[in-house]
Amino acid sequence: MSDRTHARACPERTCVGCRERAVKTDLLRAVVVEGECVPDPRGTLPGRGAYVHPALVCLDLAVRRRAFPRALRAPGQLDTKALRLYVERQTVAEQATP
């Protein structure tokens, strides 16, 4: 038996868009695969990851600030099309659900 009743089991990460801290599971992980920034919703891809809210506002902010290349240590520009498409789909799916 343990007397540690308030052990926090929720790791937090900072969103590269709005820079707010959030529970890891509320954020979308993005990794670089062959020079492209791709979503890693299950967090299973190897390598360095960047975390962003799965929202277009945060994604756009991150892209405008070049936060992805910085967070992912990628030289130059990163293609974020796949990531954007993923977030767009998520947003549409959410809006379609009553």
Distance CA 62, CA 75 (A): 16
Between 28 and 31, CB nearer to Zn ion: 28
**Candidate ranges 4-12, 55-63, 78-86, 90-98; the one touching Zn ion (CB under 5 A):** 55-63
Residue pointed to by tokens 């992805």: 68
Residue 56 binds Zn ion (CB under 5 A)? no
* Binding residues for Zn ion, total number by CB under 5 A: 5
Among 53, 67, 80, 86, binds Zn ion (CB under 5 A): 53
Chain centre distance of CA 54: 7
Residues 6+ positions from 36 with CB-CB distance below 8 Å: 78, 79, 81, 82
What residues numbered 61-90 form the site for Zn ion, per CB under 5 A? none
Residue 17 binds Zn ion (CB under 5 A)? yes
Residue 58 binds Zn ion (CB under 5 A)? yes
76 C-beta neighbours (distance < 10 Å), count: 7
Write out the residues near Zn ion by the rule CB under 5 A. 15, 17-18, 53, 58
